[in-house]
């Protein structure tokens, strides 16, 4: 247990310390694009936070590989997960970096995602069989070709599900952190009854992912000083998918005695930890294709957009979605621990959905979407741009130096923060 805590703290500390450096780098290269119509923030904010997250991931993996218990499992496990995640994570990080900086065709980005998933398969980090109950024919073994296709499909779907849900400050990092916590708890629960390198590997990957997300959240929670961008969203999606791939091939016959619906756990847990991103992904694809649009075409129809449209503030929308993710993921893990009948699972899920729908109902509505309480505006959103003064590039220098411009204008002529027709970028948080 102490090893998991140690590797999570290392990943969190490295990520947290790298973010300010990455932020300044993103500003210097101009990776802070203008506001798009679907965005909810009001000033250009640097992206590329995923670079810091990749640094935390690599540090956590390297430290974990040197630990006594976890290190032995990571180095002796099939698939060499440490090297697989470093190389696959590096490839997906480069893909996201280029997309955040220059922009990238969706299909080229999809090719990068498939390539990263292919690296995991090449290192033999893949699904070797699908665990099914005996009544459904038992576990189904997969040949190498089918195993490769299904593993790549799972990884790519998870990457895009996390990427789609990354629309509010702290949302993707928080939801993936909750999913990783549930995966870690499930693997620890299994380790008490089952021994195996894949269980320890899953717990180690999940612990590092938890630390990476927690290290990034202080910089990313509303008002965000930096975004993870596709660089980070695709990276944490890849790592989450790899933890699911390593824990799913658990023989159902081994865990039948642990609880009353253990035969379904290897399939239910991955679905539960990803339920919110998957719902958002599926509804987005259906919505866009029904209007004759590309599934990759951006819009303002995501779940978080709908919560804000019905009157919830930025922070409250994020917290509501945290609650949804927590209830679904940990609800299933908790039910597996106490051993409830299988019939109770859909009943509890329906009850949870009802409670969360009530939680999502608008509590305070005001004119023009302003949240009011007793006639006064709500202050839970804070300043839309964060407590940071704008800076402008010094004339005559190519983005290498910046000079402070003091406080921002009270009434900018355009919703996108501008001064002298140049984009305003916040560089040094906390200074005034």
**Are 288 and 294 contacting, i.e. CB atoms less than 8 angstroms apart?**
yes
For range 175-190, the mean pLDDT = 87
Greater pLDDT, 51 or 251: 51
Q: How many whole angstroms separate alpha carbon 82 and alpha carbon 376?
A: 53
Q: Would residue 388 count as lying in a domain?
A: no
**Are 403 and 394 contacting, i.e. CB atoms less than 8 angstroms apart?**
yes
Core vs surface per residue 262-276: b (16+ CB within 10 A) or e? bbbbbebbbebbbbb
Average pLDDT of the chain, as a whole number:
74
Residue 364: both structure tokens together: 């305070």
pLDDT-based confidence at residue 70 (cuts at 50, 70, 90): confident
Query: What residues pair up with 130 in beta bridges, in sequence order?
Result: 140
Q: Would residue 19 count as lying in a domain?
A: yes
Three-state secondary structure call for residue 268: helix
Tokens 């002796």, residue located: 76
Three-state secondary structure call for residue 426: strand
Alpha helices in 29-137, H assignment, sequence order: 49-64, 69-76, 81-101, 106-122
First vs last C-alpha separation in the chain = 43
Give the per-residue pLDDT at 168: 79
For range 70-99, the mean pLDDT = 88
Q: How many whole angstroms separate alpha carbon 150 and alpha carbon 177?
A: 24
Q: Would residue 377 count as lying in a domain?
A: no
- pLDDT of residue 131 exceeding 80, the answer is no
How long is the chain? 432
Q: Would residue 201 count as lying in a domain?
A: yes
For range 413-422, the mean pLDDT = 42
Give the per-residue pLDDT at 239: 94
Greater pLDDT, 298 or 105: 105
Q: How many whole angstroms separate alpha carbon 67 and alpha carbon 177?
A: 23
For range 228-244, the mean pLDDT = 92
Alpha helices in 166-228, H assignment, sequence order: 171-191, 197-220
pLDDT-based confidence at residue 96 (cuts at 50, 70, 90): very high
Neighbours of 134 (CB within 10 A): 11
Q: Would residue 289 count as lying in a domain?
A: no
- pLDDT of residue 120 exceeding 90, the answer is yes
- pLDDT of residue 94 exceeding 80, the answer is yes
- pLDDT of residue 169 exceeding 50, the answer is yes
For range 32-40, the mean pLDDT = 60
Q: Would residue 96 count as lying in a domain?
A: yes
- The count of structural domains within the chain is 1
Q: Would residue 276 count as lying in a domain?
A: no
From residue 325, how far is each of 3, 4, 286, 330 by CA, in Å? 26, 22, 22, 8
pLDDT-based confidence at residue 17 (cuts at 50, 70, 90): very high
Give the per-residue pLDDT at 413: 46
From residue 81, how far is each of 77, 123, 124, 191, 429 by CA, in Å? 7, 8, 9, 18, 37
Residue 290: both structure tokens together: 């029904």
Alpha helices in 257-373, H assignment, sequence order: 265-273, 275-290, 303-309, 314-338, 344-360
For range 233-241, the mean pLDDT = 94
Q: How many whole angstroms separate alpha carbon 247 and alpha carbon 235?
A: 19
Give the per-residue pLDDT at 422: 44
Greater pLDDT, 75 or 248: 75
Q: Which domain range does residue 89 map to?
A: 2-269
Give the per-residue pLDDT at 204: 92
pTM of the model: 0.74
- pLDDT of residue 153 exceeding 50, the answer is yes
**Are 11 and 60 contacting, i.e. CB atoms less than 8 angstroms apart?**
yes
Q: Are strands 376-377 and 372-373 parallel, antiparallel or unpaired?
A: antiparallel
Rounded to 5°, angle at Cα 268 from 267 and 274? 105
Give the per-residue pLDDT at 255: 56
- pLDDT of residue 253 exceeding 60, the answer is no
Give the per-residue pLDDT at 195: 66
Residue 173: both structure tokens together: 């990092």
Q: Would residue 144 count as lying in a domain?
A: yes
Give the per-residue pLDDT at 213: 96
- pLDDT of residue 103 exceeding 90, the answer is no
Residue 164: both structure tokens together: 């789609």
Greater pLDDT, 21 or 36: 21
From residue 424, how far is each of 27, 320, 393, 399, 417 by CA, in Å? 10, 32, 9, 12, 6
**Residue 120 CA to chain centroid, in angstroms?**
19
CA atoms within 13 Å, Cβ hemisphere of 239 = 38
**Residue 21 CA to chain centroid, in angstroms?**
21
């Amino acid at each position: 247990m102490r090893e998991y805590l140690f590797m999570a703290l290392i990943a969190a500390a490295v990520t947290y310390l790298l973010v300010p450096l990455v932020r300044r780098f993103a500003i210097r290269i101009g990776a802070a694009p203008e506001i798009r119509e679907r965005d909810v923030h009001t000033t250009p904010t640097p992206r590329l936070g995923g670079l810091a997250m990749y640094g935390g991931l690599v540090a956590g993996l390297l430290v974990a590989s040197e630990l006594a218990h976890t290190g032995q499992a990571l180095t002796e496990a099939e698939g060499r997960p440490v090297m697989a995640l470093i190389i696959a994570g590096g490839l997906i990080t480069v893909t996201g970096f280029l997309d955040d900086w220059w922009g990238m065709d969706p299909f080229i980005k999809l090719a990068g995602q498939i390539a990263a998933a292919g690296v995991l398969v090449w290192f033999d980090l893949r699904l070797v069989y699908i665990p099914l109950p005996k009544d459904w024919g038992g576990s189904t073994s997969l040949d190498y070709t089918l195993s490769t296709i299904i593993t790549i499909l799972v990884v790519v779907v998870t990457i895009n599900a996390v990427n789609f849900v990354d629309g509010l400050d702290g949302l993707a990092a928080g939801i993936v952190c909750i999913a990783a916590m549930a995966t870690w708890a499930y693997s620890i629960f299994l380790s008490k009854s089952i021994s195996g390198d894949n269980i320890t590997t899953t717990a180690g990957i999940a612990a590092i992912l938890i630390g990476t997300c927690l290290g990034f959240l202080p910089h990313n929670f509303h008002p965000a000083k930096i975004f993870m961008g596709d660089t980070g969203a695709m990276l944490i999606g890849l790592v989450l998918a790899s933890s699911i791939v390593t824990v799913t091939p658990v023989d159902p016959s081994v865990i039948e005695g642990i609880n009353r619906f253990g035969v379904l756990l290897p399939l239910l847990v991955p679905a539960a930890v990803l339920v919110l991103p998957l719902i958002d992904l599926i509804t987005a694809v259906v919505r866009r294709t029904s209007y004759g649009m590309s599934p990759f075409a951006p819009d303002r129809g995501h779940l978080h957009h709908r919560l804000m449209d019905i009157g919830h503030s930025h922070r409250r929308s994020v917290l509501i979605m945290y609650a949804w993710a927590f209830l679904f993921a940990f609800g299933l893990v908790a039910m597996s621990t106490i051993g409830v009948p299988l019939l109770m699972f859909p009943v509890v899920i329906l009850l949870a959905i009802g409670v969360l729908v009530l939680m999502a109902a608008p509590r305070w509505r005001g004119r023009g979407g302003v949240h009011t309480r007793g006639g006064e505006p709500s202050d839970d959103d804070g300043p839309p741009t964060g407590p940071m003064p704008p800076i402008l590039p010094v004339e005559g220098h190519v983005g290498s130096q910046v000079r402070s411009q003091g406080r921002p204008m009270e009434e900018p002529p355009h919703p996108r923060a501008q001064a002298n027709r140049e984009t305003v970028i916040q560089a040094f948080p906390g200074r005034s």
